[in-house]
Structure 1
Amino acid sequence: MGMLEGKNILVTGVLTEGSIAFHVARLCQEQGATVVLTGVGRSLKITQAMGRRLPVQAAVVELDVTDPDHLAALADRVKEHVPHLDGVVHSIGFAPQSVMGGNFLAGEWDDVATAMHISAYSLKALAVAAEPLMVEGSAIVGLTFDGRFAWPVYDWMGVAKAALEATSRYVARDLGPQGIRCNIVSAGPIKTTAARHIPGFEQMEGHWSERAPLGWNSDDPEPTARTVTALLSDWFPATTGEMIHVDGGVHAMGQ
C-alpha cells in the first residue's frame, strides 16, 4: 500500500510535465491517491491534456482563485468526482514582469496587488473554499521560494512569497482545531515554465549547486514533489505552520 492509499488530493497549477505540481500529482497517484486537478481560463485545456498524461487520467475542475463565484462553487465541482478531500496542493503564483527583474522600486500598486492576490491571498481563499470537503487529518501544502531574503530579480514576487508563508501560518492556526494541517515547501530554483518567465532567473539559479552541501539539480522537480507528497500523508500528523526546505541545504549556509 502507498502512503496515500484511499486519499483524495486536489492539485492546482498543473500546466506542464516539467512543473512541480505535475510531479506531485503523479507521485500522489503512485502512492494510491485519487487526484483531481484545477485549471483556469485558456489554460484549462492544457491542464486537461496534462491530466491525461498522468498514470491515471485525472479529472479537472475549473478554478480561478481570484473569482469569488469559482471559489464558492469549488466544493460542489470537486464532489462530482470525489466525496471528500484529504489534501490540497497550492501551486499558484503570478506577478507581472513589471514588478520583477530589478523593478522593485518602480513597482506600481495595481501590479503589486495582482501578485499578492494570486500568489498569497489565494492560499487563504483556496483553504476556505476546500475546507467543507476536508476531513480530520487532512493537509494543505503550498510552494514557495524562501521569502526571508531579498533575492536578485525576484522583487515583488519575493514579497508575495513572504506573505504566502505568513498566510500559511495563520491558516494552520485557524484550521488546526479541525484537524487540518497547513505547511509550505521552500524549493531551490527549478527550471519550470514559471521560473523561465522571471526576468534574470539565471541570477537566482547561478552557483546554487556549488553552495548546496547536497548539490542541486535545477532540472529535477522530483525531490520537491516527494516532500510535498510526504506532507500530504499521515506521516506528519503533528506538523503544521512549518516551512520545509528542499534546496540542497543552501538555506543553512552562510556566504
Structure 2
Amino acid sequence: MGILQGKRILVTGVLTDSSIAFSAAKIAQQEGASVVLTGYGRLSLVERIAKRLPETPPVIELDVQNEEHLGSLAERVGEHVDGLDGIVHSIAFAPQTALGGNFLSTPWEDVATAVHVSTYSFKSLAVACLPLMKEGGAIVGLDFDASKAWPVYDWMGVAKAGLESCARYLARDLGPQGIRVNLVAAGPLRTMAAKSIPGFAEFEDSWPPRAPLGWDLSDTSPAARACVALMSDWFPATTGEIVHVDGGVHAIGS
C-alpha cells in the first residue's frame, strides 16, 4: 500500500510534464491517491498533459482571480470525488515588469497581480475547498526561500514572503479543523515558470556548486515527494512549516 492509499488529492498548476505539480500528481497516483487536476487558460494543453499520468485524471478549470470559479470549485471537484484529503497549491505569476531587476520601477498594478495570484490565492484555494475537507487533511504550497533578496526575483520574492506568512496564518486558523498547512521550498528547477524569469541562468550557474547534496536542475521529483509526504499520515502533527528541498543551500552561508 502506498502512503496516500485511498486519499483524494487536488493538484493545481499542471501545465507541462516538467512541473513539480505534474510530478506530485504522478507520485500521488503511484502512492494510491485519486487525483483531480485544475488548469487555467490553455485547458486543452493541461488535458493533454494529464494523459501522460499513470491514470488520466479529470481536469477542472480554475482561475484563482475569478470569484465564480472559486465559488463553484467545491461543487465541480465534488463531481469526481466525495471529498478531499490533500491539496497541492502550485500557482504563481508575476508580470515581466515585476521581475528581472525592475524592483524599483514596477507599477503597483503589476505588483498587485503578483500578490493576488501568488499569495492571496493560497488562502482563496483553501477556503474554496473547505466544504470538501470536513475530515481534515493537508494543504501544501510550493515556495522559493523568501528569507533572502535574490537576483532578478524581485516582486515574486516579496509575493513568496507573503505566501510564507499566509501559510502560517492558515495553519493557525485551519488547525482546529484538522487541516495541516505547509510549504515546500524547492531549489531552482528548469520549469516553465522558471523560464519566464529574466536572468534565471544566475540561479542555474550558482546553485549546484553551493548545494552540499548537489542539485539537479531538471529533477522535480525530490520536491514532489516532499509534497506527497506532507499530505500523507506520516506528518500528523506538522503544520506551519517550510520544508526546504534545495540540496541544502538554505543552510549554507554564501
- 1:77-107 Cα distance to aligned partner (Å, 9 max, x none): 0010000000000000000011100000011
**Residue 205 (structure 1) shift:** 2.5
**Residue 135 (structure 1) shift:** 3.6
Aligned residues: 254
SS of the equivalent of 2:32 reads coil
1:157 partner letter:
M
1:22 partner letter:
F
* 2:190 aligned with 1:216: no
C-alpha distance in 2 between matches for 1:5 and 1:248:
28
C-alpha distance in 2 between matches for 1:164 and 1:247:
18
SS of the equivalent of 2:105 reads coil
- 1:157-207 Cα distance to aligned partner (Å, 9 max, x none): 000000011101111110000000000000000000110110000112222
**Matches for 1:104-123 after TM superposition, within 5 Å:** 104-123=103-122
**Matches for 1:186-225 after TM superposition, within 5 Å:** 186-225=185-224
Counterpart for residue 67 of structure 2? 68
- The two structures have a TM-score, normalised by structure 2, of 0.99
Contact kept? 1:182, 1:240, Cα under 8 Å: yes
C-alpha distance in 2 between matches for 1:137 and 1:227:
19
C-alpha distance in 2 between matches for 1:32 and 1:101:
41
**Matches for 1:1-255 after TM superposition, within 5 Å:** 1-41=1-41, 43-255=42-254
Gaps of 5+ in 2: none
C-alpha distance in 2 between matches for 1:194 and 1:58:
23
1:122 partner letter:
S
Gaps of 5+ in 1: none
- 1:219-255 Cα distance to aligned partner (Å, 9 max, x none): 1111110001100100000000000000000000012
- The two structures have a TM-score, normalised by structure 1, of 0.98
The alignment's C-alpha RMSD in Å is 0.7
2:118 partner letter:
S
SS of the equivalent of 2:3 reads coil
**Residue 136 (structure 1) shift:** 3.0
C-alpha distance in 1 between matches for 2:206 and 2:131:
44
C-alpha distance in 2 between matches for 1:45 and 1:28:
22
C-alpha distance in 1 between matches for 2:205 and 2:246:
13
C-alpha distance in 2 between matches for 1:60 and 1:83:
16
C-alpha distance in 2 between matches for 1:134 and 1:179:
9
Sequence identity, in percent? Answer: 63
- 1:49-82 Cα distance to aligned partner (Å, 9 max, x none): 1111100010011111111110000000001000
Contact kept? 1:86, 1:135, Cα under 8 Å: no
C-alpha distance in 2 between matches for 1:250 and 1:30:
29
Contact kept? 1:137, 1:234, Cα under 8 Å: no
